[in-house]
């Protein structure tokens, strides 16, 4: 059960709901005691008296009936027994309900805590993480896998305490009896066949683990496909890709079906094989016991001990299978939670973080850069950027312009060379503060679902309405916003889908202006604008004489001549 160790770190999530969790376990124990001991016990000890078989009832009960009920079993004693049955059932159902409630309470809590942790972790991971992991995988790690981990951590907690205890009690009883009687000892040898079960159960576990990796992988591809399809309704229709997408979806589903059925076929074999091997052991025990002169009473005791041990062994076998099955999702979450974070947030309450007060230059010194695939994108790039003297980066498509900007934002690190800000390597700055000091309009700006005001205000969450309006005016967006029925309160669809390309760009520019950061980077920020609007944008830049400005533009002729130019 080495694989169960991996779950230990997740038990920490139970700390904050320990009371609910503890109550859940206690009610679970009450539930199983009242089910196991309640009615069967009554049937065994009280019924013989009621049904005229007093000699089979225990001595103490016979005395009680004699003393308190004057041996009248159809009067008060019958009433008491009749009352006890619903009373015990009531204890059973109430404790069953409470067990379910508290366990679910703790379980849902664990899921959400785990989801919060995974989601926060993802926010703080290096940008590279998103390039290296499928969207489907990330979404499953936040939304689905925590639920599966809960299944083991919480739902099994009942059993993790109860089952081994029962098993231990049964085994202790067997050992104790073995010391007392030789024939019992010999008979117990027969049961030693049962542990050979460990081998098939381990094999089954390995098989389930392999299948679960396949199911997880296919499930993630399915997620990614659905997301891709939902995000590209235009492309799918314009290129008549509907059938293709449906075909791919069905293919993945078919594979998941195949793997899941195989997994179910195998996991369902655990219980029957335990049952069969146990019966073999029982047969051998009977044979050896009787041959060695075992008495009926002893054999009956052996039978009860085996019966007690049988349940836990079966359950532990099933648990082993389940643990192996969710090993793959667990590994996914585990990997994410253990990745090294990129952004080290400053304690926001203790100090109001200001922009960097940059005075000197931003310099690239012999900067060389390659993505993971190894192809050199930037080769010994040198330039310096001064306050009030905008730099235009141009060059053919794929020359590495956007990549260069990513380096300034520290989304990636240079392969060699250094980027110096105010005389200090940029990697010495906290990325949070560095990015706070940069207003950036990406090549393909995304807007969030919400109103136009909300989207612009992302530049500075504390900005007043009039500051938002001013930024919109500066970005030449005010006019078209005013034309919308709801003006600044117009709700824009996810990713800004209800706006035109140029409108989207101008809102992204307004957002950057509102940020009022010392460094401003515009990656083809005016590419979707017409000539007139582009000219307005370029004139507007003249207002930022105290800023460090980087403009990526294909059409450098449209920009003032005094701007410095870096050709890539």
Ligand X SMILES: Nc1ncnc2c1ncn2[C@@H]1O[C@H](COP(=O)(O)OP(=O)(O)OP(=O)(O)O)[C@@H](O)[C@H]1O
Query: Got the DSSP string for 136-204?
Result: HHHHHHHHTHHHHHHIIIIITHHHHHHHHHHHHHHHHHHHHHHHH-HHHHHHHHHHTTGGGGHHHHHHH
Q: Which one of residues 119, 371, 480, 563 is an interface residue with ligand X (CB under 6 A)?
A: 371
Kindly state whether residue 377 participates in binding ligand X, applying the rule CB under 6 A. Answer: yes
Which of 332, 327, 350 lies closest to 121, judged by CA? 332
Task: Supply the minimum distance, in Å, between the C-beta of residue 520 and ligand X.
Answer: 17
398 touches ligand X (CB under 6 A): yes
> The tokens of 191 are what?
């049961």
If one asks whether residue 131 binds ligand X (CB under 6 A), the answer comes out as: yes
**Residue pair 564/390 in contact by the 8 Å Cβ criterion:** yes
| Minimum CB–partner distance for residue 419 and ligand X (Å) | 16
Cβ-based nearer residue to Mg ion, 402 or 558: 402
Q: Which does 373 bind (CB under 5 to 8 A by kind): Mg ion, ligand X, none?
A: ligand X
551 binds ligand X (CB under 6 A): no
Among the residue ranges 275-283, 315-323, 393-401, 455-463, the one whose residues contact ligand X (CB under 6 A) = 393-401
403 binds ligand X (CB under 6 A): yes
* Joined tokens for residue 219: 């499930």
Taking CB under 6 A as the binding criterion, the range among 26-34, 181-189, 266-274, 397-405 that sits at the site for ligand X is 397-405
Our CA dihedral for 212, 115, 340, 438, rounded to 10 degrees, sits at 130
> Considering only CA atoms, which of 414, 410, 411 is closest in space to residue 382?
414
| Residue 37 CA neighbour count, 13 Å, CB half | 7
Q: Binding to ligand X by residue 129, rule CB under 6 A?
A: no
Rule CB under 6 A: say whether 173 interacts with ligand X: no
Single residue of 3, 134, 402, 430 touching ligand X by CB under 6 A: 402
State which of residues 443, 451, 467, 498 lies at the interface with Mg ion (CB under 5 A). 443
Q: How far apart are CA 170 and CA 158, in angstroms?
A: 18
Q: Which of 147, 231, 260, 402 binds Mg ion (CB under 5 A)?
A: 402
Site residues for ligand X, 441-460, by CB under 6 A, read 443
Q: In angstroms, rounded to a whole number, what is the distance separating the alpha carbons of residues 328 and 326?
A: 5
Residue 539 Cα to chain centre, angstroms: 48
Shortest distance (Å) from residue 406 CB to ligand X: 7
Write the CB contacts of 25 (distance below 8 Å, at least 6 apart in sequence). 157, 158, 161
Strands, sheet with 424-425, edge to edge from the N-terminal-most edge strand: 376-385, 362-370, 416-421, 424-425
Q: For the CB of residue 443, give the shortest distance to Mg ion in the complex, in Å.
A: 5
Of 23 and 525, nearer to ligand X (C-beta) is 525
> Closest separation between CB of residue 443 and ligand X, Å?
6
466 binds, among Mg ion, ligand X, none (CB under 5 to 8 A by kind): none
One of 4, 301, 399, 528 touching ligand X (CB under 6 A): 399
Buried b (16+ CB within 10 A) or exposed e, 442-462: beebebeeebbbbbbbbbbee
Beta bridge partners of 384: 363
Listed ranges 233-241, 272-280, 371-379, 415-423: which one lies at the site for ligand X (CB under 6 A) = 371-379
Least Cβ distance, residue 525 to ligand X (angstroms): 12
| Under rule CB under 6 A, residue 397 binds ligand X | yes
Nearer to ligand X, 377 or 452 (CB): 377
Residues that bind ligand X in the complex, under the rule CB under 6 A? 131, 371, 373, 377, 395, 397-403, 443
Residues that bind Mg ion in the complex, under the rule CB under 5 A? 401-402, 443
């Amino acid at each position: 059960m080495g694989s169960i160790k991996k779950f230990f770190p997740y038990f920490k999530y139970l700390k904050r709901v320990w009371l609910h969790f503890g109550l859940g376990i206690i009610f679970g124990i009450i539930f199983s005691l009242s089910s196991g001991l309640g009615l069967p016990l009554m049937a065994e000890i009280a019924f013989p008296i009621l049904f005229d078989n007093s000699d089979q009832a225990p001595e103490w009960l016979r005395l009680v009936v004699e003393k308190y009920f004057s041996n009248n079993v159809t009067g008060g004693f019958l009433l008491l027994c009749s009352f006890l049955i619903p009373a015990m059932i009531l204890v059973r159902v109430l404790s069953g309900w409470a067990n379910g409630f508290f366990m679910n309470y703790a379980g849902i809590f664990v899921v959400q805590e785990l989801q919060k942790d995974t989601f926060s972790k993802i926010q703080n991971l290096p940008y590279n993480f998103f390039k290296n992991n499928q969207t489907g995988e990330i979404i499953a790690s936040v939304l689905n896998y925590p639920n599966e981990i809960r299944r083991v951590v919480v739902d099994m907690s009942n059993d993790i305490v109860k089952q081994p205890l029962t098993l231990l009690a049964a085994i202790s009883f067997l050992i104790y009896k073995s010391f007392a009687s030789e024939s019992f000892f010999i008979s117990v040898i027969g049961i030693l066949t049962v542990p050979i079960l460990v081998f098939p159960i381990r094999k089954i576990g390995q098989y389930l683990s392999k299948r679960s990796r396949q199911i997880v992988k296919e499930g993630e591809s399915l997620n990614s496909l659905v997301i891709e399809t939902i995000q590209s309704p235009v492309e799918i229709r314009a290129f008549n890709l509907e059938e293709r997408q449906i075909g791919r979806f069905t293919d993945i589903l078919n594979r998941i079906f195949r793997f899941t059925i195989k997994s179910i076929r195998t996991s369902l074999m655990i219980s029957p094989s335990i049952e069969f091997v146990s019966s073999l052991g029982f047969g051998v025990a009977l044979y050896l016991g009787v041959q060695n002169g075992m008495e009926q009473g002893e054999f009956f005791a052996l039978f009860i001990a085996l019966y007690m041990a049988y349940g836990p062994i079966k359950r532990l076998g099933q648990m082993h299978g389940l643990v192996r099955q969710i090993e793959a999702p667990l590994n996914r979450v585990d990997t994410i939670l253990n990745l090294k974070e990129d952004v080290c947030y400053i304690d926001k309450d203790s100090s109001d973080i200001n922009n960097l007060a940059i005075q000197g230059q931003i310099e690239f010194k012999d900067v060389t850069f390659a993505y993971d695939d190894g192809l050199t994108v930037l080769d010994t790039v040198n330039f310096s950027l001064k306050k009030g003297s905008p730099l235009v980066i141009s060059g053919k498509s794929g020359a590495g312009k956007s990549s260069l900007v990513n380096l300034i934002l520290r989304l990636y690190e240079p392969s060699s060379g250094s980027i110096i800000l105010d005389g200090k390597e940029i990697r010495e700055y906290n990325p949070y503060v560095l990015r706070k000091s940069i207003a950036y309009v990406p090549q393909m700006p995304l807007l969030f679902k919400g109103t136009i005001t909300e989207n612009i205000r992302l530049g500075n969450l504390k900005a007043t309405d009039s500051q938002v309006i001013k930024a919109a005016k500066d970005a030449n967006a005010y006019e078209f916003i005013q034309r919308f029925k709801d003006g600044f309160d117009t709700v824009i669809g996810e990713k800004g889908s209800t706006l035109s390309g140029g409108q989207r760009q101008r809102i992204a520019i307004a957002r950057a202006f509102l940020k009022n950061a010392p460094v401003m980077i515009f990656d083809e920020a005016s590419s979707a604008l017409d000539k007139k609007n582009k000219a307005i944008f370029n004139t507007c830049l003249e207002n930022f004489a105290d800023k460090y400005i980087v403009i990526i533009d294909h059409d450098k002729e449209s920009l003032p001549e005094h701007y410095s130019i870096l050709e890539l």
